[in-house]
Each structure stands twice: as structure tokens, then as C-alpha cells.
Amino acid sequence: MLDKVIFFFFAGVAILSAALMVTRRNAIHSAIFLITALMATAGIFLQLRAEFLFVTQIILYVGGIMVLFIFVIMLVRLDVALHQIRFRLQRLVALLVVVALGAEVSVMFWVARKIPGDGLLIRGSAPVDKLPPNTEALAKSLFSSYLLPFEIASVLLLVAMVGAVVMAKKRTDAQ
Amino acid sequence: MMPASYYLFLSLALFLIGAIGVITRRNVIVVLMSIELILNAVNINLVAFSRIFGDVAGQVFALFIIADAAAEAAVGLGIIIAFFRNRETVLADEMDLLKW
């Protein structure tokens, strides 16, 4: 019961702030609402007993990526974008795409519900007090089964860092 | 424990809102933020199934997706800054350098 209350609270906050993020004109407002949505998702992770991801989400997404976004919004002059009317046809296309995609996935869920067995509505899972410590289990899996992807991810982050620095760097006349 | 469909529909809703943002917004920074929202929606699915099956692998994948999102944001924002320096705009429909 408490699980349900917590889930619906965070889900409501996430969907509401995501909708506000997409509709606000001001990019800074969008960024703030995206932060709220990401925090609510972190709450959902905690409700799913993924404590490590909960902390990672807040530190990395909210503390790292969103600060980067807000810095760039402040660097870039946006007042032109504020006063322009959005393209009408695009909104129609978006509506069509979203309705088609939503209907497709909903039908998929509905069909999967009727599959013999439990389908997608699986209710059984380990009770909370039987779960292994989350961070320990995650570390064991990450550094044994997924060691190679982990190393590749570190190379990817290095490449992204170098790429971002090279692109954002000011060109000097000497070059 | 709650049925998986709750999480699936929450994830679907966030994904669709992110898709609307990607299609309708002209500001490239907001488009990038919508992509972050989409990646986040996928993470909810992975963590929910990780909890349901009692297998921590889903959370490992979610961790990799977060790392990818960080890399994507860094490179994307670098491109936006470089483009803004050249063309003084961040609107998607004014980025037409490759148009014939």
C-alpha cells in the first residue's frame, strides 16, 4: 500500500514536470522542470530498491549533466527564441507520431497480458528483506560479467570528453 | 509488489512526452533535454524488470545508459557552443548549412 502511494506520487510528479518541460518557452524553466522529473525518477528507483542508481541519478544527472545544460543555456543568447511562434505543422506531426506510437505499445502490452503464464504482469519478486545489498550486488555484476563493457564505457567517456573540449574550444589566430 | 505494467506505462508516458519535445521544439538545447528524458524513461523499464526478475543486470545496463547520456550531453552541448559561435543561433530550422 505504501509502495503504491510512493509510486503514484513520484510518477505524477515525473509526468507533470516532464509535460511542463516540453511546453515552457523559456529554456531555463525547461531545465528546472527536467531536474524535477529526474529527481522524481530517482524516487521511483528508490521505490524499486535500486539505491545505488538512486544516488547515481541525483549526483550524475541532476548534479552533473543538468549543471552543464544550464551553463550552456546561460552562454548562448536565447532571447530570440523566446518570441518566435512554433511551427504549427510540426505539432500536428508530433501528435500523429505520438498517438501511433502510444497505440502501438499499448496494444503490445494488452496482447502480452493474455499470453499464458503471467505475461507482462509479473507479481512475484524477491521480498525486500531478502534482497542482497544493492551496491554490493551491482559491483559484483559490473566487475565480473560486465567488465569489458565497463572498460569500453570508460574509453567512450574519454573520447566524449576530448571531443567536447575540442569542439567548445575557441579557435586562435595561430591555427 | 506492484505489477510491472505500472512502470511500463509510466515509462511509456515519459518516452512519449520526450518524443513530443524532440519533434515540436525548435531550440536545440531543449531537444537535447528531451532526449535525456527519453533515456531516463528507458532506465525506469530496466530497473523495474531488474527488480521483478531479481537480477541486478538491468541496473548495470541502466548505469551504462547514464554514462552514455553524460557523453551524449557533453558532445551535443560542445557542438551547440561551436555552432552558436559560428552562426549565432540555436534554432533547429536555422541550422541549414548542409542544405543545398
Domains, chain A, in order of start with CATH, read 1-84 (1.20.120.1200)
| Percent of chain B whose predicted confidence (pLDDT) is above 90 | 44
Q: What is the pLDDT of residues A2-24, one digit of tens each?
A: 888 999 999 999 999 999 998 88
Predicted local confidence at residue A173, as pLDDT: 58
**Which residues in chain B are contacts of A134 at CB distance < 8 A?**
56, 59
d(CA B23, CA B1): 36
Predicted local confidence at residue B66, as pLDDT: 93
- Burial code (b: 16+ CB inside 10 Å, e: under 16) for A13-35 equals bbbebbbbbbeeeebeebbbbbb
Predicted local confidence at residue A117, as pLDDT: 53
**Which residues in chain B are contacts of A61 at CB distance < 8 A?**
36, 40, 66, 69
Predicted local confidence at residue A27, as pLDDT: 86
Could you give the 3-state DSSP secondary structure of residue B88? Answer: coil
Residue keyed to cell 541550422: B95
d(CA A7, CA B35): 23
Contact A18 B37 (CB under 8 A): yes
The ranges assigned to domains in chain B are: 27-89
With a cut of 0.95, is the ipTM above it? Answer: no
How far lies B47's CA from each of A123, A151, B33, in Å? Answer: 15, 22, 21
Chain B, 51 to 90: residues with Cβ < 8 Å from chain A are 51-54, 56-57, 59-60, 62-64, 66-75, 77-82, 84-85, 88-90
Contact A163 B67 (CB under 8 A): no
* Helix, strand and coil percent figures for chain B, each rounded to 5: 80, 0, 15
Residue keyed to cell 505475461: A119
Q: Quote the DSSP letter at residue A122.
A: -
Q: How would you write the pLDDT of chain A (175 residues) with one tens digit per residue? A: 788 899 999 999 999 999 999 888 888 899 999 999 999 999 999 998 889 999 999 999 888 899 999 998 888 876 655 555 555 677 788 888 889 988 888 888 777 766 655 555 555 555 666 677 888 888 998 999 999 999 999 999 999 999 988 888 877 655 5
Cell, residue A172: 586562435
In a mutational test of the B interface, the residue from A5, A34, A57, A172 whose CB has the highest number of chain B CBs within 10 Å is A34
Could you give the 3-state DSSP secondary structure of residue B91? Answer: strand
Phi then psi for A154, rounded to 5 degrees? Answer: -70, -40
Q: Is the pLDDT reported for residue B49 higher than 60?
A: yes
How many cross-chain Cβ pairs, A to B, lie less than 8 Å apart? Answer: 226
Q: What is the pLDDT of residues B37-47, one digit of tens each?
A: 999 999 999 99
- Alpha carbon dihedral A52, A57, A58, A64, in 10-degree steps, equals 130
d(CA A59, CA B98): 38
Contact A15 B13 (CB under 8 A): yes
